[in-house]
Chain A
């Protein structure tokens, strides 16, 4: 087992033991799509700086936030994610010049579909995080986790039985 696997297992265990003491508590599962050039590196910066933030999200690296079409987000929700975060470079910083403008277009479409499907639109979120903004990444994640915890489990989340 690699050290990072140990770390995640430890993190999950610690979360579980904490909730055992405080009673039944909903732990959200969040999928974060991070672009290769800014947000993924931003998450890296947060790690290198040893920032403390919520561990209950999974990062999926995409080459650009513009690649994240409605299909990606809907699949994550279908498989039971409670929230989906799409993250890319700030406007003007995109490695592919206009990729994040495409991301906005795609995200608007996704938002409409998700709303029609009856999900709360706060379950999906689009954020811009640059490679240097490690603390912003941590903030975004913490904020998003708090929001999803407030909203409760997704109707498609079969793991959480309340």
Chain B
């Protein structure tokens, strides 16, 4: 209980005015009446968070930062949730992980130092990688998503990795790919498993040091957030620079030669790339530079964009599905044929929601593509 109070103080929760703007914008609250950030914060303030610790609602928060965006006194609600989760899971409380928690087990298995993974099977003859290079491509969990989701969804998550390397090759960069990199630890961090996260970070930083890379490029919004904020910024590392692929493309946009594409697209801001890292323009600039690419914005865009409905592979339920359906309908109503995201997980969650056989199947029927797929297919030569 005392620990919950320190979490409250740390995240400026005692400044809460109880205006309820957080609940008004929260995507989960829109569909789940039980879930209210304002009430959960008030419970924490008045009763020391005692109830919240054993509550299943605790694990529903998407940590998408939309509440902090609207909060007039800047309460860091997502961070507070993370802090309470840390206490809760130490006491043995846990949410309902999706996919039989297989993906969380994989992340935890990667904390074992002796593990020798076999994860570079996707590198084929068409793309060029080097053993040692200034630029390192951080694959993230894409090889595992390929194994887990490729068969169910008719979509190859690993194509994101292949296309990223293809884009880098077009810029005359031969990136190094680590054969034994670990998960970045994003999900474990936000679920309050800080010990495991620290282990992963330690192992990854050792690998980075050994590779002697100066720039790390990643195609995943969550990896970009974790590497930038929790690795480099938090530990004060000066030797490494982390970039999301969209930033790299936008910086070097003059060096690209694009074919004419006749595509109407709309863009989903991943919450980690958008509100967490403030990268809104670089993916848009990069896609607008492709001739014939028509970018239509959804009503909820940039700072106000709505999350894809699930984070950390946790508590995926009816409200998540309804958020996804609403978001897909919004994308379809812009008149675009393709919804582009810059995070593999967003795409997985949206595809999962499209799998159902509901009445509104036609309303949500829109093609989904990753940012890297769009850029790589537009490259001339």
Task: Specify which chain B residues have a CB less than 8 angstroms from the CB of A75 in the assembled complex.
Answer: 101, 105
Residue-wise interface mask of A (113-125) relative to B, using a CB-CB cutoff of 8 A (1 in contact, 0 not): 1011110000000
Which parts of B96-121 form the interface with A (CB within 8 Å)? 99-102, 105-106, 108-110, 112, 114-119, 121
| Chain A: CB-nearest residue to B118 | A118
Contact of B99 among A71, A112, A115 (CB under 8 A): A71
Task: Specify which chain A residues have a CB less than 8 angstroms from the CB of B118 in the assembled complex.
Answer: 115-118
Which parts of B67-120 form the interface with A (CB within 8 Å)? 99-102, 105-106, 108-110, 112, 114-119
Task: Specify which chain A residues have a CB less than 8 angstroms from the CB of B144 in the assembled complex.
Answer: 113, 116
In Å, the complex CA distance between A130 and B106 comes to: 32
In Å, the complex CA distance between A117 and B332 comes to: 38
B148 touches A70 (CB 8 A): yes
Indicate whether A113 sits within 8 Å of B117 (C-beta atoms), given known contacts A77-B109, A78-B109: no
A71 touches B108 (CB 8 A): no
Q: Is A109 an interface residue (CB 8 A)?
A: yes
Contact of A155 among B99, B101, B116, B121 (CB under 8 A): B116
In Å, the complex CA distance between A156 and B114 comes to: 7
Q: Is A140 an interface residue (CB 8 A)?
A: no
Task: Specify which chain A residues have a CB less than 8 angstroms from the CB of B117 in the assembled complex.
Answer: 116-118
Indicate whether A71 sits within 8 Å of B105 (C-beta atoms), given known contacts A118-B115, A156-B115: yes
| Chain A: CB-nearest residue to B113 | A155
Q: Is B147 an interface residue (CB 8 A)?
A: yes
Contact of B102 among A70, A116, A118, A156 (CB under 8 A): A70
| Chain A: CB-nearest residue to B149 | A109
Task: Specify which chain B residues have a CB less than 8 angstroms from the CB of A70 in the assembled complex.
Answer: 99-100, 102, 148
> Which range holds the interface residue count of chain A?
10 to 19
In Å, the complex CA distance between A117 and B180 comes to: 10
Q: Is A91 an interface residue (CB 8 A)?
A: no
Q: Is A98 an interface residue (CB 8 A)?
A: no
Q: Is B359 an interface residue (CB 8 A)?
A: no
In Å, the complex CA distance between A69 and B152 comes to: 14
Task: Specify which chain A residues have a CB less than 8 angstroms from the CB of B101 in the assembled complex.
Answer: 71, 75
Q: Is B304 an interface residue (CB 8 A)?
A: no
In Å, the complex CA distance between A83 and B217 comes to: 37
Q: Is A74 an interface residue (CB 8 A)?
A: yes
Q: Is A72 an interface residue (CB 8 A)?
A: yes
A71 touches B114 (CB 8 A): no
Q: Is B143 an interface residue (CB 8 A)?
A: yes
Task: Specify which chain A residues have a CB less than 8 angstroms from the CB of B33 in the assembled complex.
Answer: none
In Å, the complex CA distance between A115 and B146 comes to: 13
Question: Which residues of B come within 8 Å of A, CB atoms?
Answer: 99-102, 105-106, 108-110, 112, 114-119, 121, 143-144, 147-148, 151
Question: Which residues of A come within 8 Å of B, CB atoms?
Answer: 69-72, 74-75, 77-78, 109, 112-113, 115-118, 155-156
Q: A71-B99, A78-B108, A109-B148 are in contact. List 16 more A-B contacts (CB 8 A).
A: A71-B102, A71-B105, A74-B102, A75-B101, A77-B109, A78-B105, A116-B117, A116-B121, A116-B147, A117-B110, A117-B117, A117-B118, A118-B116, A118-B119, A155-B115, A156-B112
Task: State the 4 A-B residue pairs at the shortest beta-carbon distance, nearest first.
Answer: A71-B100, A112-B147, A71-B102, A69-B100
